[in-house]
A = this chain, B = another copy of it.
Amino acid sequence: MEFETRLTEIADKVTVALDQLIPPAQGPEADLMRAMRHAALANGKRMRPFYVIETGALFDADHKALLRTAAALECVHTYSLVHDDLPCMDDDDLRRGQPTVHKAFDEATAVLAGDALLTLAFKILASDETHSDPAVRLHLIERLADASGATGMVGGQMIDMLEEASPRDLNTITRMQRLKTGALISYSVEAGAIVGGASANAKHALAGFAQDLGLAYQIADDLLDATGDQNVVGKTLRSDEAAGKANFVTILGIEGARERINLLAAQARQHLDFFRGRANILLHSVDYVLDRTR
With contacts A29-B159, A89-B111 taken as known, whether A120 is within 8 angstroms of B149 at the C-beta atoms is yes
With contacts A122-B141, A134-B138, A145-B122 taken as known, whether A116 is within 8 angstroms of B150 at the C-beta atoms is yes
Q: Choose among B28, B114, B115, B116 the residue that contacts A162 (Cβ–Cβ < 8 A).
A: B28
| Measured CA separation A27–B162 after assembly (Å) | 12
Q: Is A128 an interface residue (CB 8 A)?
A: yes
Chain A contributes a number of interface residues (CB within 8 A of B) equal to 58
| Measured CA separation A267–B207 after assembly (Å) | 56
Residues 90 to 121 of chain A near chain B (Cβ within 8 Å): 106-109, 111-112, 114-116, 118-120
Q: Which residues of B contact A139 (CB under 8 A)?
A: 126
Q: Choose among B88, B107, B118 the residue that contacts A106 (Cβ–Cβ < 8 A).
A: B88
| Measured CA separation A128–B162 after assembly (Å) | 34
Q: Which residues of B contact A137 (CB under 8 A)?
A: 134, 138
Q: Is the CB of A150 within 8 A of B28?
A: no
Type the 1/0 row for A117-152, where 1 means its CB is closer than 8 Å to any CB of B: 011101101111000001101110110111011110
Q: Is A73 an interface residue (CB 8 A)?
A: no
Q: Which residues of B contact A79 (CB under 8 A)?
A: 115
Tally of this chain's copies = 2
| Measured CA separation A109–B154 after assembly (Å) | 10
Q: Is the CB of A32 within 8 A of B88?
A: no
Q: Choose among B111, B116, B150, B175 the residue that contacts A149 (Cβ–Cβ < 8 A).
A: B116
Q: Which residues of B contact A157 (CB under 8 A)?
A: 112
Q: Choose among B31, B127, B134, B155 the residue that contacts A134 (Cβ–Cβ < 8 A).
A: B134
| Measured CA separation A79–B21 after assembly (Å) | 24
| Measured CA separation A17–B14 after assembly (Å) | 38
Determine how close the nearest CB of chain B comes to the CB of A174; give it in whole angstroms.
Answer: 12
Which A residues lie at the B interface, using CB under 8 A?
22-23, 27-29, 31-33, 36, 79, 83, 86, 88-89, 106-109, 111-112, 114-116, 118-120, 122-123, 125-128, 134-135, 137-139, 141-142, 144-146, 148-151, 154-159, 161-162, 166, 172, 175, 179
Q: List 25 A-B contacts (CB under 8 A).
A: A27-B155, A27-B175, A28-B166, A28-B175, A29-B155, A29-B156, A29-B162, A32-B150, A32-B154, A83-B111, A88-B106, A111-B111, A114-B115, A115-B118, A115-B154, A116-B150, A118-B119, A119-B148, A126-B138, A126-B139, A126-B145, A134-B137, A134-B138, A137-B138, A138-B138
